[in-house]
């Protein structure tokens, strides 16, 4: 079995996990909780094994020597897989910390969607172009995608907040009332955005260092760099407004959603709609 086959199993496992978490929410089927968590953990472990196997496979490319080996973080397929991996581990940590599986209905589907998108791109392993042959690339990709994963979960929490806040709380039997209290969702959303913001900031810094080693300049206003900065400012505005003006609730929820839309365009849209120095990542 090769890494691509394992990634295929991972995609199906995340789909099953998403369905189980949504079933817990929709049908109040708390008995499915352990199954949902178990499937997610199993998917994560299979995915981790597949990432390691793909790394190993890169050292055995037909027609190339071991020097062609590299960390599987160099193209759209591999970055989508890693994005999914980051979402899964971040969500599992949240579930462990806050003891609430309903968050899974709003977070795990992002891990599945990322793997589903990866399945639509080429999974071929190719030697790295010179600009990507740097350890700073690994640092840059890891820091960025840990931040992106946190923002994906924050977006899911923002949606959860808006659903919970807009519901009729007088009906104690309402499905929506099974969600955590709005103040709890708001607090988790804020902490998740802070976590993601720290990692995105680190990603921009490591990216600038990598750019200097690859292209001889720390910043060149490449479309990817420009949109990364726009995304950074959206989250900086949200966190600044909360710290200085006490913003919370719907405002932060909407900013979490808006910020993630910007993340998606920075990560996915720019590669296909705007040509630039990062075009080899498509």
Among the residue ranges 6-20, 63-77, 83-97, 138-152, the one predicted with the least confidence is 63-77
> Which residue would you say has higher pLDDT here, 122 or 282?
122
pLDDT of residue 276: 64
Q: Confidence band (pLDDT; 50, 70, 90) for 74?
A: confident
Q: What is the pLDDT of residues 122-132, one digit of tens each?
A: 888 888 877 77
Look at residue 70 and tell me whether its pLDDT is greater than 90.
Answer: no
B/e letters for 108-131, b = 16+ CB within 10 Å, e = fewer, are bbbbbbbbebbeeeebebebbeee
Digit-coded pLDDT (tens) for 212-231? 988 888 988 888 899 999 99
Q: Is residue 173 very low, low, confident or very high in pLDDT (cuts 50, 70, 90)?
A: low
pLDDT band at 82 (very low <50, low <70, confident <90, very high): very high
Give the predicted TM-score (pTM) of the model: 0.91
Tell me the percentage of the chain whose pLDDT exceeds 90: 63
Statement: residue 54 has pLDDT above 80: yes
Q: Mean pLDDT for the chain?
A: 90
Rounded distance between C-alpha atoms, residue 237 and residue 244, angstroms: 10
What confidence score (pLDDT) does residue 125 get?
A: 87
Query: Region 175-187: what's the mean pLDDT?
Result: 87
With H, G, I as helix, E, B as strand and everything else as coil, classify residue 70. coil
Instruction: Please count the other Cβ atoms lying within 10 Å of the Cβ belonging to residue 2.
Output: 11
> Which burial class, exposed, middle or buried, applies to 172 when counting CB atoms under 10 A from its CB (0-12, 13-18, 19+)?
exposed
**Residue 274, pLDDT above cutoff 80:** no
Alpha helix ranges (H) inside 119-222: 135-165, 182-215
């Amino acid at each position: 079995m090769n890494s691509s086959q394992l990634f295929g199993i991972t995609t199906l496992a995340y789909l099953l996990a998403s369905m189980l978490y949504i079933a817990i929410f929709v049908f109040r089927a708390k008995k499915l909780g352990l199954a949902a968590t178990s499937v997610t953990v199993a998917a994560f472990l299979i995915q981790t094994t597949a990432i390691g196997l793909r790394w190993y496979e890169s050292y055995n490319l037909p027609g190339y020597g071991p020097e062609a080996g590299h960390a599987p973080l160099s193209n759209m397929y591999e970055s989508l897989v890693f994005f999914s991996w980051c979402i899964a581990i971040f969500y599992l940590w949240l579930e462990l910390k806050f003891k609430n599986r309903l968050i899974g209905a709003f977070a795990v589907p992002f891990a599945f969607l990322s793997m589903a998108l990866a399945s639509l791109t080429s999974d071929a392993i190719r030697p790295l172009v010179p600009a990507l042959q740097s350890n700073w690339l690994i640092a840059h990709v890891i820091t960025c995608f840990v931040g992106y994963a946190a923002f994906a979960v924050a977006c899911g929490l923002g949606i959860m907040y808006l659903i919970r806040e807009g519901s009729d709380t007088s009906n104690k039997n309402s499905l929506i009332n099974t969600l955590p209290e709005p103040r709890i969702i708001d607090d988790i959303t804020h902490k998740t955005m802070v976590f993601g913001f720290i990692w995105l900031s680190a990603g921009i810094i490591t990216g600038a260092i990598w750019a200097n080693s690859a292209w001889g300049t720390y910043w060149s206003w490449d479309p990817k760099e420009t949109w990364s900065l726009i995304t950074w400012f959206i989250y900086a505005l949200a966190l600044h407004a909360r710290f200085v003006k006490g913003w919370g609730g719907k405002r932060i929820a909407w900013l979490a959603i808006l910020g993630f839309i910007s993340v998606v365009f920075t990560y996915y849209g720019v590669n296909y709609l705007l040509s630039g120095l990062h075009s080899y990542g498509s």
